[in-house]
């Protein structure tokens, strides 16, 4: 008998809509609401001329392929500039960088686990070699392996999404920090039908977690100074969480809550998720903290000094792999998010271990507040928005921000 994991692949392209500080997406040629992103005029959308698509890398767009989870399942993603002007973007956090460093794949239903790593970075001016320019008529493509990045726990049909935030610059000479550049959210979807055969197509969470080294709570490979900074950051993060969760429970300061997370009634299906996620982070901190300081240089290379930390959401020990930017970060955010605070970085990274934190859209303060206004469901399930709310619940450094 042939061992099977049947993947029925159907791809749908989406158009990207540039929006300064905000995020929008819609399907080309249609006027419809797509996963809460709002209603947009398709004719205006098409003017930009940018399309993003995902499809089977080896066969046709509507191919059926029989594999098992031990074999690669390549998916080709492509961004095309059919517009009339160049498009320059930051490749970090997209499928077009050398290694996947953000949660670019998700599924509906959510009975799956993302196996890759999620990296937290500074939002300062990017190096020129990290910017890509597509002139009119040009395209860029890449191949990602679904089986390397995702594990499915149940058989059945899955609606898959390749989506991420893309940061646009005027050119490679643009010196704006990432936090102040134009942010857009783009997405393409395809469909998989996962079926168990002789060799199982599905993997349980226990099987996945068994791949990680077991660690007891503690610090690994950290100097005395690094350990001291981590302990203080965790203590401060716990205090921030206490205050933020308390405000949620008592429904205090609704204006500030809506500023970062939007209106609850706009996301009734997932009502209460923001508090559940922050409570989960607090339990992790109280139950024992695991951090290591010795692997970042090898894993992140020349990006180590601009990276706060990275995590593997599938890791049952919830280990934070600490990097250079964390230890030079302030103990409070600057209000613009060019440089995240140490306690804010702890909260942000630990949120990635929660199944409800389905988005990882790192943008500046203005962009986060735009997400809350335009798409509360995304805001309430975006690790960046939740971390910002927890950090700013007391209103620290926000007098100017909250006027916007």
65 phi/psi in degrees, rounded to 5 = -130, 135
Residue 68: the pLDDT is 53
Q: Name the H helices within 63-166.
A: 146-149
pTM listed for this prediction: 0.82
| DSSP state letter for 96 | T
The pLDDT tens digits of the residues spanning 193-209 come to: 787 765 567 788 888 88
Residue 158 to residues 17, 150, 223, Cα–Cα distance (Å): 26, 12, 45
Identify the bridge partners of residue 187 per DSSP, sorted by sequence position. Answer: 163
Q: What is the mean pLDDT of residues 355-364?
A: 79
Task: Give the residue among 401, 399, 320, 324 at the shortest CA–CA distance from 364.
Answer: 401
CA 378/CA 360 separation, integer angstroms: 9
| pLDDT at residue 152 greater than cutoff 60 | yes
* pLDDT confidence of residue 278: 95
Q: Which helix (H) or strand (E) holds 230?
A: helix 224-250
Q: Which two tokens stand for residue 379?
A: 């805001």
224-250 helix and 254-261 helix, angle to the nearest 10 degrees: 120
- 8 A C-beta contact, residue 152 and residue 194: yes
Interatomic CA distance for residues 171 and 150, integer angstroms? 34
Given a cut of 70, is residue 174 above it in pLDDT? Answer: yes
User: Counting Cβ atoms within 10 Å, is residue 213 exposed (0-12), middle (13-18) or buried (19+)?
Assistant: exposed
Identify the pLDDT of residue 334. Answer: 56
Indicate if the pLDDT at residue 319 is higher than 70.
Answer: yes
b (16+ CB within 10 A) / e for 361-374: bbbbbbbbbbbbeb
Q: What is the pLDDT of residue 46?
A: 42
DSSP assignment of 6-38 equals: EEE---B-EEE--BTT---EE-TT-----TT--
pLDDT band at 2 (very low <50, low <70, confident <90, very high): very low
Mean pLDDT of 52-64: 58
Rg of the chain taking only CA atoms, in angstroms: 21
What is the average pLDDT value for the chain, to the nearest integer? 78
pLDDT given for residue 10 in this prediction: 35
Q: What's the token pair of residue 341?
A: 């605070």
**Which sign, positive or negative, has the C-alpha torsion 233, 235, 241, 243?**
negative
CA distance 87 to 79: 11
141, pLDDT greater than 90: yes
* In contact, 297 and 310? CB cutoff 8 Å: no
> Which helix H or strand E contains 46, and what residues bound it?
helix 42-47
Q: For position 337, what pLDDT does the model report?
A: 58
Q: What is the pLDDT of residue 225?
A: 96
Mean pLDDT of 272-301: 92
Name 371's Cβ contacts closer than 8 Å, sequence gap at least 6.
22, 23, 262, 361, 363, 378, 379, 382, 385
State the average pLDDT over residues 40-60.
57
Q: What percent of the chain has pLDDT over 90?
A: 36
- What are the phi and psi torsion angles at 186 (to 5°)? -125, 155
pLDDT in tens, 320-358: 999 999 999 988 765 555 568 899 999 999 999 988 888
More confident residue, 207 or 232: 232
Within 10 Å of residue 214's Cβ, how many Cβ atoms? 8
Of 23-27, 308-312, 343-347, 375-379, the least confident: 23-27
Lateral strand order in the sheet of 218-220: 118-121, 307-311, 320-322, 290-292, 218-220
Task: Quickly tell me which residue has 């389905």 as its tokens.
Answer: 358
CB 135 within 8 A of CB 86: yes
Which of 188-192, 293-297, 399-403 has the highest average model confidence (pLDDT)? 293-297
């Amino acid at each position: 008998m042939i061992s099977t994991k049947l993947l029925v692949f159907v791809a749908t392209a989406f158009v990207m809509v540039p929006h300064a500080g905000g995020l929008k997406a819609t399907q080309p040629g249609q006027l419809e609401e797509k996963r809460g992103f709002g209603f947009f005029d398709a004719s205006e959308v098409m003017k930009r001329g940018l399309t993003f698509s995902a499809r089977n890398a080896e066969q046709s767009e509507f191919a059926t392929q029989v594999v098992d989870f031990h074999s690669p399942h390549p998916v080709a993603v492509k961004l095309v500039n059919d517009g009339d002007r160049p498009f320059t973007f930051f490749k970090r956090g997209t499928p077009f960088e050398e290694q996947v460093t953000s949660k670019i794949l998700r599924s509906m239903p959510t009975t799956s686990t993302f196996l890759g790593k999620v990296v937290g970075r500074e939002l300062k001016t990017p190096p020129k070699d990290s910017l890509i320019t597509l002139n009119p008529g040009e395209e860029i493509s890449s191949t990602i392996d679904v089986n390397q990045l995702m594990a499915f726990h149940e058989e059945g049909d899955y609606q898959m999404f390749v989506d991420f935030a893309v940061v646009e610059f005027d050119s490679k000479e643009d010196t704006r920090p990432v936090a102040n550049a134009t942010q857009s959210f783009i997405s393409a979807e395809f469909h998989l039908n996962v079926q168990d055969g002789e060799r199982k197509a599905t993997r349980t969470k226990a099987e996945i977690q068994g791949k990680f080294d077991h660690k007891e709570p503690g610090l690994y490979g950290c100097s005395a100074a690094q350990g001291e900074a981590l302990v203080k950051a965790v203590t401060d993060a716990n205090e921030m969480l206490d205050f933020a969760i308390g405000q949620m429970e008592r429904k205090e300061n609704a204006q500030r809550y809506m500023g970062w997370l939007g209106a609850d009634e706009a996301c009734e299906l997932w009502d209460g998720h923001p508090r559940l996620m922050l409570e989960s982070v607090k339990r992790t901190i109280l139950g024992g903290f695991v951090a290591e300081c010795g692997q970042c240089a090898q894993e992140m290379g020349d990006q180590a000094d601009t990276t706060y930390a990275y995590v593997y959401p599938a890791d049952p020990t919830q280990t934070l792999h600490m990097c250079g930017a964390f230890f030079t970060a302030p103990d409070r955010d600057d209000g613009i998010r060019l440089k995240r605070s140490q306690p804010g970085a702890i909260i942000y990274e630990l949120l990635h271990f929660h199944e409800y934190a389905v988005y990882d859209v790192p943008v500046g303060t203005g962009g986060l507040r735009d997400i809350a206004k335009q798409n509360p469901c995304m805001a309430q399930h975006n690790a960046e928005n939740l971390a910002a709310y927890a950090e700013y619940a007391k209103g620290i450094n926000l007098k100017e921000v909250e006027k916007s």
